[in-house]
């Protein structure tokens, strides 16, 4: 669609905003315009003026000074479009304004209002946003103790500078109150110190050295002389050394070269355990007993007990803290110890009063009663005593190792065929006389030595009938032996055949079992049947033999030929 058609449709070209084409400048006009711009930049020609009468800087680029077609159709050079438009400019809150704090003054409510906080009764927040202590019965049900409403917080719309002003909303009077509070505390300290000094002067207890001290001596006077934690600082040499040992000292990892000694961490240079623990040396006599020895010495244990008491007291409702209130915690801990001892003593007295038995508490010590002591003993790795005496074995009230009737062992030291006896003579008769080695040979049917043989009875000559009967018995025995051998041979062959058949069946069953296991292992774990890999019955000898024959060993050189 051409420009003429648009003019015919609208009636004129002025009805379309921004569609006027710029007039085409000739070459001469273009040259004159450029010369004028150069003269204006050099200051030989007056600057161009906008519609408000303000000069336009000739050095401003044309793409800034030229007005877009949708802003000003007059096409006159101006910078008005670069300035903030008053009708479209957003109204921001001033920097000095801030949210109001506190509650509304002059408004007293005596009745619970609908929609108010169920805990305190204020209308400006709900129960989940209430900052008061949760009441046992809220203001919704009691109707008393209605808290005043807070100031309604209007949303402030700050500008760029207001959002980034760190002191916006700060009240200088709050800092002044803190300064005044510290000034009062300092004044009270000075008054108390002066009063104490006057009392000491009046009593004559003041030293000559303290008379020359200044009154404004503070506890921070010697703060510069305190060493920093973790370093050794020498003010004369100005050298700082951080946790480094002297080069002449023995390193921790060289104190005991045994592989089973204490572990040394090279990253933190720490050896927590005692390196001489497996040598049997006394920890008090060695030069270095590990980092834990130093860590658990001094007031470390007392500090840990105090910290534990602070945690337990806080859980029970006492507002104490080890770092915030150390003095309060120490006094509370001391009073707790005293009360605990008093309670134990009172409980002990009540038990003794009720049940009696106080005379047993005044008995001599255990060492005097049982002749046992707790002497220091050192044992080696194998259980041998290195230092000290062996602990005495506690004896029972029954008699032990009492030997009677020339026996060298007690009754019950020998057992055979369900009977007890003496080990020295193998006699099974209690309270019998010991016969020594002779009794042992007699019981075990050992032949006597020469000179000790007993006289044997003379055998009577056999008759012909008895001799004939003996021969017939021997023949019957020989026949029975031959029959047994034949039967045993036949039975052995039958047993071997049965064993072969059982082994063949076991091998087939083993093949089936292996294939079944492989099929189950290929399934997903969620689709396997319950207890599919669990055997209920015990395997037989043939099944064990078949398992050994079918088992694949990785170290077998012929394992690759099993399937061929």
In the chain, domain spans: 24-82, 400-449, 505-528+536-553
Give the per-residue pLDDT at 490. Answer: 66
DSSP codes, 438-475: HHHHHHHTPPPPTT-PPPPPPPPPPPHHHHHHHHHHHH
Q: What is the tens place of the pLDDT at every residue in 433-475? A: 898 888 888 887 755 444 344 444 445 666 777 787 888 888 8
Helix-then-strand count for the chain, H and E:
14, 8
Distance from the first to the final alpha carbon of the chain: 91
Burial (CB < 10 A; 0-12, 13-18, 19+), residue 321, is middle
Give the per-residue pLDDT at 23. Answer: 67
Cβ(420)–Cβ(428) under 8 Å? yes
Collapse the DSSP code of 386 into the 3-class scheme (helix H, G, I; strand E, B; otherwise coil) and give the result.
strand
**What's the rounded Cα separation, in Å, for the pair 468 and 446?**
34
The single-letter DSSP state of residue 421 is E
Give the per-residue pLDDT at 287. Answer: 81
How far is residue 439 from each of residues 405, 417, 431, 448, 455, measured CA to CA in Å? 14, 17, 15, 11, 18
Cβ(93)–Cβ(104) under 8 Å? no
Token code pair at residue 171: 């009240």
Cβ(135)–Cβ(81) under 8 Å? no
Give the per-residue pLDDT at 451. Answer: 39
φ and ψ at residue 371, rounded to 5 degrees: 55, 40
Give the per-residue pLDDT at 5. Answer: 47
How far is residue 333 from each of residues 309, 338, 346, 466, measured CA to CA in Å? 7, 9, 20, 108
DSSP codes, 6-59: HHHHHSSSTTSTT-PPPPPPPHHHHHHHHHHHHHHHHTSSPPEE-TTSPEEPTT
Q: What is the tens place of the pLDDT at every residue in 369-388? A: 766 666 777 888 877 888 77
Give the per-residue pLDDT at 454. Answer: 45
Residues of the chain with pLDDT under 50: 1-3, 5-20, 208-212, 215-216, 222-223, 228-231, 233, 235-236, 238, 240-241, 448-458
Give the per-residue pLDDT at 536. Answer: 62
């Amino acid at each position: 669609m051409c420009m003429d058609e648009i003019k015919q449709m609208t009636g004129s070209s002025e009805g379309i905003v921004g569609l006027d084409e710029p007039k085409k400048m000739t070459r001469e006009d273009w040259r004159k315009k450029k010369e004028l711009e150069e003269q204006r930049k050099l200051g030989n020609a007056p600057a161009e003026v906008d519609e408000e009468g303000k000069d336009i800087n000739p050095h401003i680029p044309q793409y800034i000074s030229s007005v877009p077609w949708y802003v000003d159709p007059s096409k006159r050079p101006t910078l008005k479009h670069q300035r903030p438009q008053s009708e479209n400019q957003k109204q921001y809150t001033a920097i000095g304004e801030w949210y109001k704090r506190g509650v509304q003054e002059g408004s007293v409510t005596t009745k619970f209002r609908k929609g108010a906080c169920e805990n305190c009764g204020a209308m400006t927040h709900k129960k989940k946003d209430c900052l008061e202590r949760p009441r046992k019965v809220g203001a919704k049900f009691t109707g008393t103790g209605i808290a005043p409403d807070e100031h309604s917080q209007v949303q402030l719309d700050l500008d760029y500078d207001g959002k980034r002003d760190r002191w916006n909303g700060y009240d200088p009077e709050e800092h002044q109150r803190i300064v005044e509070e510290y000034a009062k505390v300092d004044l009270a300290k000075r008054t108390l110190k002066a009063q104490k000094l006057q009392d000491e002067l009046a009593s004559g207890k003041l030293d000559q050295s303290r008379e020359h001290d200044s009154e404004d001596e503070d506890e921070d006077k010697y703060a510069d002389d305190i060493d920093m934690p973790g370093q050794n600082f020498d003010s004369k040499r100005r050298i700082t050394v951080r946790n480094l040992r002297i080069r002449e000292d023995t390193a921790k990892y060289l104190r005991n070269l045994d592989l089973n000694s204490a572990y040394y961490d090279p990253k933190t240079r720490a050896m927590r355990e005692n390196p001489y623990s497996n040598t049997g040396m006394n920890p008090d006599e060695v030069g270095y007993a590990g980092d834990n020895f130093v860590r658990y010495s001094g007031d470390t244990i007392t500090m840990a007990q105090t910290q534990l008491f602070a945690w337990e007291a806080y859980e029970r409702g006492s507002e104490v803290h080890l770092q915030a209130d150390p003095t309060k915690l120490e006094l509370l801990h001391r009073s707790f110890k005293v009360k605990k001892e008093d309670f134990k003593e009172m409980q002990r007295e009540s038990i003794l009063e009720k049940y009696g038995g106080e005379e047993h508490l005044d008995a001599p010590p255990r060492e005097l009663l049982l002749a046992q002591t707790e002497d220091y003993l050192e044992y080696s790795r194998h259980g041998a005593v290195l230092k000290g005496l062996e602990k005495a074995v506690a004896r029972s009230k029954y008699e032990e190792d009492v030997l009677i009737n020339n026996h060298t062992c007690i009754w019950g030291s020998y057992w055979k065929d369900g009977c007890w006896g003496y080990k020295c003579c193998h006699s099974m008769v209690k309270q019998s006389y010991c016969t020594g080695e002779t009794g042992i040979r007699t019981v075990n049917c050992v032949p006597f030595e020469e000179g000790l043989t007993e006289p044997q009875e003379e055998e009577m000559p056999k008759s012909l009938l008895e001799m004939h009967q003996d021969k017939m018995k021997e023949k019957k025995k020989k026949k029975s032996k031959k029959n047994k051998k034949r039967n045993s041979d036949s039975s052995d062959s039958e047993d071997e055949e049965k064993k072969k058949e059982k082994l063949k069946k076991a091998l087939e069953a083993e093949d089936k079992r292996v294939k079944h296991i492989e099929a189950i292992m290929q399934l997903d774990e969620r689709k396997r049947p319950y207890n599919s890999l669990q055997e209920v019955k015990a395997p037989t000898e043939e099944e064990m033999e078949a398992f050994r024959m079918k088992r694949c060993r990785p170290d077998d050189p012929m394992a690759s030929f099993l399937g061929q």
